């Protein structure tokens, strides 16, 4: 039995060894390198360039590369590379180069096709600056900035930079011979348009970049544009006693004041300055007349013009007639303690009326004595009053635009029995 188990163990080891050999025999070679950079046939390639390519292995094996490069015949210039890029020494100007890549996975080697490129001619000027930061034509930026740009030299020459910055389209020179692709500026003016330009210089050439611009932010942001006018823009048949109102906010919640322009011309004159409310009651408006108005909002530092709005007034409105015919009658004595107030009132224009009722025990009636407001009936039930007490009352009638207050009336309740 022991001999049988020993025999089976030997057979199993032979099978395992046979499988390993078979796996090695099935190794797949790397794919030929492809996608060269510079592209095959490229021209004006910088003489300080990096060769790159793409390659993969179907088995996932680690790859190493050998590089062949030359002006005519190619020679081996690098081997054992573990990355798919190679930076040769500075190449000659105006020269045709050929190159190829061999890829190895440790078992097999594949070769790329031969690729060609031509280097740039000597003494080509640097490229024009691009990618400005701040971006060209940007607005509302901070007054402390780092100006940045990008460019390169096809000859591989070192570059220096001059920077122009100012308020006109021919900005003055503010920095020279910079070696970095940036320059810091600070304490620029608020809410100002700046123009700037970069001049790039190589060993013996220079390139003047495009003119860029940016606008700094407000020191204090102005109010929003006045909006939501009442009367609505282009309203007709507006009362000659109508109030003007609008809405306006400030981004920083600054308190606002308003200049009010109003008139019959489409460029209306100033009628009120420094008004602190968002409504205004104009005087002496004519009926059947076109009016134009606008609001200028101030936050104490900056201002914002609103648009010109328009409305047309309608027929003139007459105030209600004064309330009359009181009940109880004025000066009445011995009235029931369960009294009800009644009166009479009319409007010359036939407008619907609403009333405000004042009631108290002294002749001096004010808003603290109002017991009813906005009622449409010409009567008001008082409830239970005191015996032998003199009461005073008056009525204000309103037609929705104009109001009139009647005289103060009085009556005295009955004695207690």
| Cβ neighbours for 342, distance < 8 A, ≥ 6 positions apart | 325, 326, 327, 378, 379
In 10 A of CB 2, how many CB atoms? Answer: 6
Instruction: Order the strands of the 324-327 sheet from edge to edge.
Output: 324-327, 340-344, 379-381
Q: So what's the pLDDT on residue 24?
A: 46
Right CATH for 130-216 from 2.60.40.10, 3.90.1150.10, 3.30.360.10, 3.40.50.1370: 2.60.40.10
pLDDT at 88: 95
Query: What's the pLDDT score for residue 17?
Result: 44
Closest CA to 309 of 285, 289, 292: 292
pLDDT digits (tens), the chain, 417 positions: 555 555 555 555 545 444 433 334 689 999 999 999 999 999 989 888 999 999 999 999 999 999 999 998 999 999 999 999 999 998 988 899 999 999 999 999 999 999 999 998 877 889 999 999 999 999 999 999 999 999 998 888 899 999 999 999 999 999 999 999 999 999 999 999 999 999 999 988 999 999 999 999 888 889 999 999 999 999 998 988 889 999 999 998 999 999 999 999 999 999 999 999 999 999 888 999 999 999 999 999 899 999 999 999 988 888 899 999 999 999 999 999 999 999 999 998 888 999 999 999 999 999 999 999 999 999 999 999 999 999 999 999 998 888 999 999 999 999 987
Closest CA to 102 of 144, 132, 69: 69
Fold classification of 324-413 (topology level): Immunoglobulin-like (2.60.40)
Equal CATH topology for 130-216 and 227-313: yes
What pLDDT is recorded for position 7?
A: 56
DSSP string, 173-232: EEEEEE-SSEEEE--PPTT-EEEEEEEEE-SS-EEEPPPEEEEEPPSSPPPPPPEEEESP
Residue 327 has a pLDDT of 96
Nearest to 408 by CA among 303, 330, 304: 330
Homologous superfamily, domain 34-119? Immunoglobulins (2.60.40.10)
The confidence score (pLDDT) of residue 25 equals 63
pLDDT for the residue 9? 56
**What is residue 20's predicted lDDT score, i.e. its pLDDT?**
37
Superfamily of domain 227-313: Immunoglobulins (2.60.40.10)
Domain boundaries, given as residue ranges, for the chain: 34-119, 130-216, 227-313, 324-413
């Amino acid at each position: 039995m022991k001999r049988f188990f020993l025999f089976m163990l030997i057979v199993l080891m032979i099978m395992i060894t046979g499988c390993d050999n078979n796996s090695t025999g099935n190794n797949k070679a790397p794919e030929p390198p492809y996608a060269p950079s510079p592209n095959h046939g490229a021209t004006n390639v910088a003489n300080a360039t990096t060769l790159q390519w793409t390659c993969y292995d179907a088995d996932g094996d680690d790859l190493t590369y050998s590089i062949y490069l030359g002006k005519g015949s190619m020679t081996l210039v690098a081997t054992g590379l573990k990355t798919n890029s190679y930076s040769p020494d500075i190449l000659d100007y105006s020269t045709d180069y050929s190159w190829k890549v061999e890829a190895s996975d440790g078992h097999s080697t594949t070769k790329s096709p031969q690729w060609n490129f031509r280097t740039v001619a000597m003494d080509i000027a640097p490229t024009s600056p691009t990618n400005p930061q701040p971006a060209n034509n940007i607005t509302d930026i901070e007054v402390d900035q780092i100006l940045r740009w990008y460019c390169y030299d096809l000859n591989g020459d070192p570059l220096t930079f001059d920077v122009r910055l100012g308020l006109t389209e021919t900005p003055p020179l503010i920095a020279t011979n910079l070696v970095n692709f940036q320059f810091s500026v600070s304490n620029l003016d608020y809410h100002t348009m700046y123009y700037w330009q970069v001049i790039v210089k190589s060993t013996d050439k220079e390139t003047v970049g495009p003119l860029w611009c940016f606008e700094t932010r407000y020191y204090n942001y102005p109010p929003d544009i006045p909006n939501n006018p009442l009367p609505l823009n282009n309203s007709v048949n507006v009362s000659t006693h109508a109030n003007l109102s609008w809405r306006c906010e400030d981004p920083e919640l600054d308190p606002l004041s308003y200049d009010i322009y109003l008139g019959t011309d489409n460029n209306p004159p100033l009628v009120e300055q420094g008004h602190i409310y968002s409504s205004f009651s104009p005087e002496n408006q004519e009926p059947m007349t076109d009016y134009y108005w606008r609001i200028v909002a101030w936050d104490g530092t900056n201002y914002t013009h609103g648009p010109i709005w328009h409305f047309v007034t309608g027929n003139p409105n007459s105030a209600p007639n004064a309330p009359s015919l009181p009940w109880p009658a004025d000066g009445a004595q011995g009235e029931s303690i369960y009294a009800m107030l009644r009166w009479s009132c009319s409007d010359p224009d036939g407008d619907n009326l609403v009333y405000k009722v004042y009631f108290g025990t002294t002749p001096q009636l004010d808003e603290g004595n109002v017991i009813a407001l906005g009622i449409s009936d010409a009567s008001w039930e008082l409830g239970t009053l005191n015996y032998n007490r003199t009461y005073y009352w008056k009525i204000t009638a309103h037609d929705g635009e104009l109001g009139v207050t009647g005289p103060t009336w009085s009556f005295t309740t009955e004695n207690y029995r």
